[in-house]
């Protein structure tokens, strides 16, 4: 037991150090990308050099994205739960995502009842939904629909007693995954994408867990994927 605690302490220290390190990398990165942007706006730059500068910019953007994802994963906060209207949160995220180039022509169908509220940290769940929706869009190569729904159900627990949970589903009709992929998607840094960070679903998992909930996934190759999040109704435990 004492050994385990020591290990947990060590991991916490490593987590904190790497989060600080990631944070410190941001400033020089901003200076690099700002300077390169200024240089590339100058006159008389040969086309070949301009292309190289574009590569520097693209890659600094990528590093910035990696650091943003890493910090979201490495610095988990205790959720500050409030009563959040899920319909409004989905609508807000949809309006952010639709103009995003990663999103292509994917459609978001907000099937949540307009008065559906549940006890969650709205910033953390914005991140959860964003990560799930971006993945869904990336799995759909541009077209198709992502359907978000929510309800409240009674779960029968192993002891036979009932408890109420909120259930949120995110379904897409994208490429789906084979079972081997499904078994690894929540692991940090697991990605099948050329420029993925593999931190999206690891962060989703962490946040759902911190809310006392759980997330499941069902997927069929070539057909699509369904993520289901269960969040306990407060006062259950």
Interacting residues with ligand ADP between 14 and 53 (CB under 6 A): none
Determine the interface stretch with Mg ion among 13-21, 85-93, 105-113, 129-137 (rule: CB under 5 A). 129-137
Q: Return the HEC string of the chain.
A: CHHHHHHHHHHHHHHHHHHHHHHHHHHHHHHHHHHHHHHHHCCCCCHHHHHHHHHHHHHHHHHHHHHHHHHHHHCCCCCCCEEEEHHHHHHHHHHHHCCCHHHCCCEEEECCCCCCEEEECHHHHHHHHHHHHHHHHHHCCCCCEEEEEEEEEEEECCCCCEEEEEEEEEEECCCCCCHHHHCCCCCCCCCCCCCCCCCHHHHHHHHHHHCCCEEEEEEECCCEEEEEEEEECCCCC
Q: Is 71 in the site for ligand ADP (CB under 6 A)?
A: no
Smallest gap, in angstroms, from Cβ of residue 172 to ligand ADP? Answer: 5
Among 22, 74, 127, 172, binds ligand ADP (CB under 6 A): 172
Q: Is 203 in the site for Mg ion (CB under 5 A)?
A: no
Q: Is 198 in the site for Mg ion (CB under 5 A)?
A: no
Q: Is 135 in the site for Mg ion (CB under 5 A)?
A: yes
Distance of CA 181 to the CA centre of its chain: 17
Smallest gap, in angstroms, from Cβ of residue 199 to ligand ADP? Answer: 6
Q: Which is nearer to ligand ADP, 66 or 88 (CB)?
A: 66
Determine the interface stretch with ligand ADP among 20-28, 29-37, 98-106, 169-177 (rule: CB under 6 A). 169-177
Determine the interface stretch with Mg ion among 35-43, 46-54, 66-74, 194-202 (rule: CB under 5 A). 194-202
Report the residue number whose CB is nearest to ligand ADP: 200
Interacting residues with ligand ADP between 201 and 230 (CB under 6 A): 201-202, 225
Q: Give exposure, 74-103, as e/b (b: 16+ Cβ within 10 Å).
A: beeeebebeebbbbbbbeebbeebeeeeeb
Residue 177, binding choice from Mg ion, ligand ADP, none, Cβ under 5 to 8 Å by partner class: ligand ADP
Q: Is 79 in the site for Mg ion (CB under 5 A)?
A: no
Interacting residues with ligand ADP between 97 and 156 (CB under 6 A): 131, 135-136, 139
Residues that bind Mg ion (CB under 5 A): 135, 200
């Amino acid at each position: 037991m004492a050994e385990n605690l020591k290990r947990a302490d060590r991991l916490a220290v490593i987590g904190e150090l790497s989060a600080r390190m990631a944070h410190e990398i941001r400033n020089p990165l901003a200076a690099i990308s700002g300077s390169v942007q200024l240089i590339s706006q100058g006159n008389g730059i040969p086309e070949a050099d301009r292309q190289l500068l574009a590569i520097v910019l693209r890659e600094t953007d990528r590093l910035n994205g990696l650091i943003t994802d890493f910090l979201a994963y490495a610095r988990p906060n205790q959720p500050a739960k409030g009563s959040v209207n899920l319909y409004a949160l989905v609508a807000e995220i949809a309006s952010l995502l639709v103009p995003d180039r990663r999103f292509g022509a994917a459609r978001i169908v907000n099937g949540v009842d307009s008065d559906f509220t549940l006890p969650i940290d709205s910033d953390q769940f914005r991140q959860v939904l964003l990560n799930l929706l971006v993945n869904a869009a990336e799995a759909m190569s541009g077209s198709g629909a992502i359907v978000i729904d929510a309800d409240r159900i009674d779960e029968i627990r192993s002891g036979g007693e009932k408890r109420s949970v909120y259930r949120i589903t995110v379904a897409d009709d994208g490429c789906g995954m084979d079972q081997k992929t499904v078994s690894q998607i929540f692991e940090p840094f697991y990605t099948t994408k050329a420029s993925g960070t593999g931190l999206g679903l690891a962060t989703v998992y962490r946040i759902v867990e911190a809310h006392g909930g759980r997330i499941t996934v069902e997927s069929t190759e070539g057909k699509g994927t369904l993520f289901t999040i269960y969040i306990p109704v407060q006062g259950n435990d």
